[in-house]
């Protein structure tokens, strides 16, 4: 009831919003009719006139007012321009395309919604590409740049070339960012009135400009005025799980993968033999009618080698699977904890596929290092530290020395265990040509979700190196974060943001809360004829797939094209095999090759075609129906599994029945689907189905059951939203700091007078230093220390007599020193070449910022990990994080200033080296733009399948480690349960 009322209100708000725009639509159309009488040049002249008018206005509120005022005329100009292009041929990604579009009324409405900084939900095929031309034209008139963000490079190019015809006709310039462009080319694209590109290219350019460029000339972007995000749900919600990261090789690398590889290889071989034997024993037990005992053996194999081929083969059989499930269930009960431990000890190591972790058993440790079995166990630091503290024979200094020694041993041991564990993961959980491929002597990650190759991405935490060791390719150095930003925070930079997609409504809350974006649902140009059927539900996957194949066969038989949607590459390939067996020709798309796949998808509406695609494949490409297809019902969309998110299902349904075409959709679901198993839908349904008296092999459909599935989906959506929000709350802390640091950095880059900046820094830093020596409350002033600091940092040759610090207040001492230092600095500079000095001053500031900011990023990462392990009991990790982060930031800013002071005189002597550095810069930056170039910083998104990247870290159990003893307790510290294992590999229990 409440829901219904809410819907009424929300629905009518949308209608009110749209109704308000109606009169403007009339006005635009009226103006457009008038403009038909103008010559091409007269029409174009309007662009120039508006640009000139807007260029004179500085105040952004005034700019916005003028834009609102000229909107009807500007939209009319664009629409009229489109009309004039009709019949002309435009070259789009090397294909000739005839222009045949003039904006529909609903497209004008969509354009206004986008101009207002909202999200326009417009169904697939409604022509959003054309809609965007209206607000982009209008907002580009400001001369401040307007950006259109697409999901891949191919679409950026396609849309910019296609719509470019219209912009150019109207007298605007248009650019397009592509992955392989050099900085010069990029700069030229950004300088255009309108720029198309992908979210990651925009984001990485931001990071390079603000975090890496060392002069204004190297920066490529020019501000963040207005952006429209196409497929906004995909970019701001799905992609927002993983932040953008630019990383460079770490300065130190301690790995020993080479050394451990042969040992681990033997270990894995031994375990494989063991597991194969267990599988064949289990086979015999099944044959002998002892499924319970067989199940136990299979469970053991699952622990030791979850991807064992024999095990996987057995799992195809429902009875065997049940036996394994039963054994597993029994072992995970509390009473069986010890039995489980014993079982694990019978293996050499165990693998947790879900948590992606590997653990050595006693046997395994002995195998690796028979003489020193403890080499792979962490020392019990807590107890050892306590013992040291209790020793009476040691002074405090000796105590900390002892602790430091112990810590070093522990670190070495930890590194070793970590290396082994990563190697085990590499061997047992990562399969070549599934999770990764080897190309040009490099390990390239394959996204399991889309099948796309992720060139340049690396798994973190040494895993990538472990896989490199396994494949015998060159082991690249571990990387370190140089710059990072979340997609959310990149898009918040824009003065005005808008978005468009076929599916936004279900995520309206998130758009509103996080981006302040409201959603307007725009009606379609023609009535939608699509028929969405109830889900068909099966007990097992096998039955489900068989039914899908039969359905495809029937449709194919009558010439109806079918688009089969899957949730994973694996499922796509399985279906493809089944179709091949039936002799049905088809294409498979995994979002691997955007351009070719767009071509194939475009043809998916031809009579008799069958296309299998994951949900991202061919997104943004229009499926037009071939001749005779309308008569057989249009495109038939078959979903083979409900996705975690309702939005993705809607997206799939929306691929058919565009622009008043006929079309049908249906989803096939089984109780064995992940969604059903993990979120309780299966249980509820089993009950319903039992009531219906459903038998094995039967199918069922009813709208009640659909609702059950959707309840499960809502639950997952909510969970994912909370975790994205949490990620953002943490990044917000970092975001504020980033703004300050990038602000300072840009000041250093942009200022014509870096000396003023250096002096400002000096003015702030020197009094703090002086205060530290002579102003500390209650402490004896340390005049000698102050004098010493001055004389080692600045060449002022100050004597105690001349300084007379005792006679000065702290303030007077500071003033006196500042004057001395500046005088000495001016003297020094008088002998240098002015331009060189200027560059050097800039460099000193930048260098201090970059070096310390990178260290800070590293420390912030560690802090993030650490707050979960703190004794926060009732404390909120986020609050802890904020407080500590603030303290660290204050310290960082202080350190930056000190570093500038320290280097001011020191590096003048080294001008030669500095000039060499400058000379090397352009090439250096060029390499940054190409993530694969060896040695140069690489551009990557962090590791992890979407599921793990998305796993809320907040759910980790709080651990009571007294803060004093373990100020930076991390995942690599020993677990407080006393097992001696790393916390992250252990039980997660509190002490």
Q: Are strands 663-670 and 635-639 parallel, antiparallel or unpaired?
A: parallel
- Minimum gap (Å) between residue 124 Cβ and ligand ADP: 4
Nearer to ligand ADP, 107 or 195 (CB): 107
- SS3 category, 562: strand
Secondary-structure percent of the chain, ordered helix, strand, coil, rounded to 5: 60, 10, 30
Stretch that binds ligand ADP, among 96-104, 387-395, 533-541, 833-841 (CB under 6 A): 96-104
- Full DSSP string of 225-291: -EEEEETHHIIIIIGGGS-EEEEEE-S-----HHHHHHHHHHHHHHHHHHHHHHHHHHHHHHHTT-H
**What is the DSSP secondary structure assignment for residue 334, as one 8-state letter?**
G
> Facing residues of 437 across strands?
444
Region for residue 289 given its phi and psi (left: phi exceeds 0; alpha: psi -120 to 50; beta: otherwise): left
| Burial grade of 338 (CB within 10 A; 0-12, 13-18, 19 or more) | exposed
Asked whether the beta carbons of 127 and 107 are under 8 A apart, the reply is yes
Nearer to ligand ADP, 101 or 893 (CB): 101
The tokens for 331 are: 């072992």
Stretch that binds Mg ion, among 94-102, 125-133, 191-199, 884-892 (CB under 5 A): 125-133
**What is the DSSP secondary structure assignment for residue 974, as one 8-state letter?**
B
Nearer to ligand ADP, 132 or 901 (CB): 132
- Select from 71, 101, 846, 940 the one that contacts ligand ADP (CB under 6 A): 101
List the interface residues with Mg ion, window 612-671 (CB under 5 A).
620
User: Crossing angle for the helix pair 153-169 and 60-85, nearest 10 degrees?
Assistant: 80
Give residue for tokens 């802890």: 880
Residue 700's binding partner out of ligand ADP, Mg ion, none, with CB under 5 to 8 Å set by partner kind: none
Residue 614's binding partner out of ligand ADP, Mg ion, none, with CB under 5 to 8 Å set by partner kind: none
- Minimum gap (Å) between residue 611 Cβ and ligand ADP: 17
Which positions from 802 to 821 touch ligand ADP by CB under 6 A, shown as an x/- string? --------------------
Residue 104's binding partner out of ligand ADP, Mg ion, none, with CB under 5 to 8 Å set by partner kind: ligand ADP
The tokens for 976 are: 């407080």
Residues near ligand ADP (CB under 6 A), total: 15
Which residues touch 607 (CB under 8 Å, ≥6 apart)?
559, 560, 561, 626, 627, 628, 629, 632
Residue 388: half-sphere exposure toward Cβ, Cα within 13 Å: 20
Stretch that binds ligand ADP, among 128-136, 529-537, 645-653, 702-710 (CB under 6 A): 128-136
d(CA 254, CA 236): 37
Tell me the Cα Rg of the chain: 32
Nearer to Mg ion, 605 or 620 (CB): 620
Nearer to ligand ADP, 153 or 884 (CB): 153
The tokens for 762 are: 């000096």
Nearer to ligand ADP, 128 or 870 (CB): 128
Which positions from 54 to 93 touch ligand ADP by CB under 6 A, shown as an x/- string? ----------------------------------------
d(CA 631, CA 530): 14
- Minimum gap (Å) between residue 749 Cβ and Mg ion: 37
- SS3 category, 563: strand
Contact between 127 and ligand ADP (CB under 6 A)?
yes
Give residue for tokens 């001369």: 143
Nearer to Mg ion, 183 or 620 (CB): 620
d(CA 423, CA 462): 9
- Minimum gap (Å) between residue 519 Cβ and Mg ion: 17
d(CA 181, CA 148): 18
Residue 101's binding partner out of Mg ion, ligand ADP, none, with CB under 5 to 8 Å set by partner kind: ligand ADP
End-to-end CA distance of the chain: 48
- SS3 category, 195: strand
Residue 102's binding partner out of ligand ADP, Mg ion, none, with CB under 5 to 8 Å set by partner kind: ligand ADP
Residues near Mg ion (CB under 5 A), total: 2
- Select from 18, 130, 165, 327 the one that contacts ligand ADP (CB under 6 A): 130
- Select from 128, 365, 464, 556 the one that contacts ligand ADP (CB under 6 A): 128
Q: State the Cα angle at 452 between 446 and 454, rounded to 5°.
A: 60
Stretch that binds ligand ADP, among 99-107, 324-332, 393-401, 908-916 (CB under 6 A): 99-107
Nearer to ligand ADP, 124 or 210 (CB): 124
- Select from 35, 50, 75, 104 the one that contacts ligand ADP (CB under 6 A): 104
List the interface residues with ligand ADP, window 350-369 (CB under 6 A).
none
- Minimum gap (Å) between residue 908 Cβ and ligand ADP: 58
Residue 537's binding partner out of Mg ion, ligand ADP, none, with CB under 5 to 8 Å set by partner kind: none
- Full DSSP string of 763-785: HHHHHHHHIIIII-TTSPP-HHH
- Select from 46, 103, 144, 452 the one that contacts ligand ADP (CB under 6 A): 103
Spell out where 265-369 has E strands.
349-352, 357-360
Contact between 124 and ligand ADP (CB under 6 A)?
yes
Contact between 126 and ligand ADP (CB under 6 A)?
yes
> Facing residues of 197 across strands?
149
> Facing residues of 244 across strands?
485
List the interface residues with ligand ADP, window 722-741 (CB under 6 A).
none
Diameter over CA atoms, the chain:
104
- SS3 category, 613: strand
Stretch that binds Mg ion, among 63-71, 121-129, 457-465, 516-524 (CB under 5 A): 121-129
- Minimum gap (Å) between residue 125 Cβ and ligand ADP: 5
- Minimum gap (Å) between residue 527 Cβ and ligand ADP: 16
List the interface residues with Mg ion, window 263-292 (CB under 5 A).
none
Nearer to Mg ion, 154 or 459 (CB): 154
List the interface residues with ligand ADP, window 622-651 (CB under 6 A).
622
List the interface residues with ligand ADP, window 596-625 (CB under 6 A).
622
Asked whether the beta carbons of 399 and 364 are under 8 A apart, the reply is no
- Select from 63, 122, 623, 860 the one that contacts ligand ADP (CB under 6 A): 122
Among 199, 150, 140, smallest CA distance to 173 is for 140
d(CA 405, CA 934): 36
Stretch that binds ligand ADP, among 49-57, 98-106, 607-615, 799-807 (CB under 6 A): 98-106
Residue 93's binding partner out of ligand ADP, Mg ion, none, with CB under 5 to 8 Å set by partner kind: none
- Minimum gap (Å) between residue 411 Cβ and ligand ADP: 54
Nearer to ligand ADP, 100 or 259 (CB): 100
Stretch that binds ligand ADP, among 120-128, 133-141, 184-192, 455-463 (CB under 6 A): 120-128
Residue 865's binding partner out of Mg ion, ligand ADP, none, with CB under 5 to 8 Å set by partner kind: none
- Minimum gap (Å) between residue 230 Cβ and Mg ion: 6
Among 643, 678, 670, smallest CA distance to 568 is for 643
**Cα distances (angstroms) measured from residue 108 to each of 72, 117, 128, 142, 526:** 10, 15, 11, 20, 15
d(CA 271, CA 275): 6
Give the nearest residue (CB) to ligand ADP: 127
- Minimum gap (Å) between residue 272 Cβ and Mg ion: 48
List the interface residues with ligand ADP, window 554-593 (CB under 6 A).
none
Residues binding ligand ADP (CB under 6 A):
100-104, 107, 122, 124-130, 622
Residues binding Mg ion (CB under 5 A):
128, 620
């Amino acid at each position: 009831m409440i829901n219904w009322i809410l819907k009424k209100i929300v629905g009518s708000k949308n209608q009110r919003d749209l109704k308000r725009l109606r009169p403007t639509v009339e006005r635009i159309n009226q103006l457009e009719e008038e403009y038909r009488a103008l010559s091409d040049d007269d029409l174009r002249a309007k662009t120039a006139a508006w640009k000139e008018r807007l260029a004179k206005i500085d105040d952004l509120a005034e700019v916005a007012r003028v834009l609102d005022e000229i909107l009807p005329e500007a939209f009319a100009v664009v629409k009229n321009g489109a009309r004039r292009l009709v019949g002309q041929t435009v070259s789009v990604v090397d294909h000739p395309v005839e222009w045949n579009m003039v904006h529909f009324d609903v497209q004008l409405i969509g354009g206004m919604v986008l101009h207002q900084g909202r999200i326009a939900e417009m169904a697939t095929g409604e022509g959003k590409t054309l809609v965007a031309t209206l607000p982009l034209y209008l907002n580009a008139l400001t001369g401040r740049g307007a950006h259109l963000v697409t999901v891949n490079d191919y679409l950026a190019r396609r849309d910019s070339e296609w719509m470019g015809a219209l912009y150019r006709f109207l007298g605007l310039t248009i650019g397009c960012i592509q992955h392989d462009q050099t900085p010069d080319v990029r700069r030229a694209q950004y300088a255009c009135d309108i720029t198309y590109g992908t979210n990651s290219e925009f984001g990485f350019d931001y990071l390079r400009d603000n975090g890496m460029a060392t002069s204004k000339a190297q920066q490529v972007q020019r501000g963040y005025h207005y952006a429209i995000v196409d497929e906004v749900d995909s970019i701001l919600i799905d992609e927002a799980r993983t932040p953008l990261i630019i990383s460079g090789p770490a300065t130190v690398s301690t790995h020993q993968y080479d050394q451990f590889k042969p040992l681990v290889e033997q270990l894995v071989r031994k375990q494989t033999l063991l597991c194969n034997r267990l599988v064949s024993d289990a086979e015999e037990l099944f044959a002998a009618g002892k499924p319970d005992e067989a199940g136990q053996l299979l469970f053991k194999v699952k622990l030791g080698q979850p991807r064992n081929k024999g095990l996987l083969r057995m799992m195809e059989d429902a009875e065997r699977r049940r036996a394994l499930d039963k054994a597993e269930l029994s072992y995970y009960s509390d009473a069986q904890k010890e039995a489980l431990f014993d079982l694990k000890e019978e293996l050499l190591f165990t693998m947790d596929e879900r948590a992606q972790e590997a653990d050595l058993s006693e046997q395994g440790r002995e195998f690796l290092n028979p003489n020193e079995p403890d080499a792979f166990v962490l020392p019990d630091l807590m107890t050892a530290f306590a013992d040291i503290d209790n020793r009476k024979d040691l002074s405090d200094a000796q105590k900390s020395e002892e602790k430091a020694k112990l810590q070093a041993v522990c670190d070495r041991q930890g590194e070793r265990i970590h290396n082994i564990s990563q190697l085990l993961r590499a061997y047992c959980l990562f399969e070549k040509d599934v999770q990764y491929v080897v190309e040009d002597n490099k390990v390239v990650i394959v996204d399991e979700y889309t099948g796309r190759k992720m060139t340049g991405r690396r798994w973190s935490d040494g895993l990538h190196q472990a896989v490199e060791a396994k494949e015998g390719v060159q082991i690249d150095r571990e990387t370190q974060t140089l710059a990072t930003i979340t997609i959310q925070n990149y898009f918040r930079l824009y003065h005005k943001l808008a978005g468009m997609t076929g599916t936004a409504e279900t995520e309206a809350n998130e758009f509103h809360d996080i981006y302040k974006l409201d959603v307007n649902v725009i009606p379609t140009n023609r009535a939608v004829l699509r028929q969405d059927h109830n889900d068909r539900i099966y007990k097992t996957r096998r039955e489900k797939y068989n039914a899908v194949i039969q359905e495809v066969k029937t449709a194919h038989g009558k010439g109806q094209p079918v688009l089969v949607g899957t949730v994973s590459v694996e499922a796509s390939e399985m279906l493809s095999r089944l179709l091949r067996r039936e002799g049905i020709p088809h294409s498979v798309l995994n979002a691997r090759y955007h351009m070719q796949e767009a071509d194939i998808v475009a043809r998916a509406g031809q009579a008799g075609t069958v296309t299998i695609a994951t949900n991202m494949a061919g997104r943004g490409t229009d499926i037009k129906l071939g001749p005779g297809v309308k008569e057989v019902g249009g495109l038939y969309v078959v979903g083979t599994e409900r996705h975690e998110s309702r939005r993705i299902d809607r997206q799939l349904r929306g691929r058919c029945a565009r622009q008043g075409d006929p079309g049908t959709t249906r989803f096939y679901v089984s109780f064995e689907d992940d969604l059903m198993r993990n979120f309780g839908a299966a249980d509820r349904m089993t009950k319903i189905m039992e009531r219906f008296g459903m038998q094995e092999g039967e199918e069922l459909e009813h709208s009640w059951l659909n609702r059950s599935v959707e309840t499960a989906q809502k639950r997952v959506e909510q969970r994912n939203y909370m975790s994205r929000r949490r990620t953002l709350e943490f990044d917000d802390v970092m975001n504020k700091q980033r703004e300050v640091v990038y602000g300072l950095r840009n000041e250093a880059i942009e200022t014509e007078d870096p000396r003023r900046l250096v002096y400002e820094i000096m003015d702030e830093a020197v009094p703090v230093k002086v205060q530290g020596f002579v102003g500390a409350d209650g402490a004896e002033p340390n005049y000698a220390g102050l004098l010493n600091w001055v004389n080692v940092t600045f060449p002022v040759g100050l004597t105690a007599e001349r300084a007379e610090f005792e006679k000065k207040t702290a303030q007077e001492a500071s003033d006196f020193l500042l004057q001395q230092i500046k005088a000495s600095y001016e003297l020094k500079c008088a002998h240098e070449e002015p331009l060189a000095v200027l560059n050097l001053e800039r460099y000193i500031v930048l260098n201090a910022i970059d070096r310390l900011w990178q260290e800070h990023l590293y420390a912030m990462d560690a802090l993030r990990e650490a707050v979960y392990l703190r004794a926060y009991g009732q404390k909120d990790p986020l609050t802890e994080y904020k407080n500590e982060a603030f303290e660290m930031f204050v310290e960082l800013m202080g350190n930056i200033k000190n570093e500038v002071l320290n280097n001011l005189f020191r590096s003048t002597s080294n001008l030669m080296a500095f000039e060499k550095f400058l000379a090397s810069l352009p090439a250096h930056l060029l390499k940054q733009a190409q993530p694969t170039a060896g040695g140069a910083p690489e551009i990557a998104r962090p590791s992890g399948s979407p599921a793990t990247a998305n796993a809320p870290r907040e759910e980790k159990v709080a651990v009571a480690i007294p803060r004093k003893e373990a100020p930076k307790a991390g995942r690599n510290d020993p677990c407080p349960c006393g097992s001696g294992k790393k916390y992250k590999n252990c039980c997660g229990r509190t002490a």
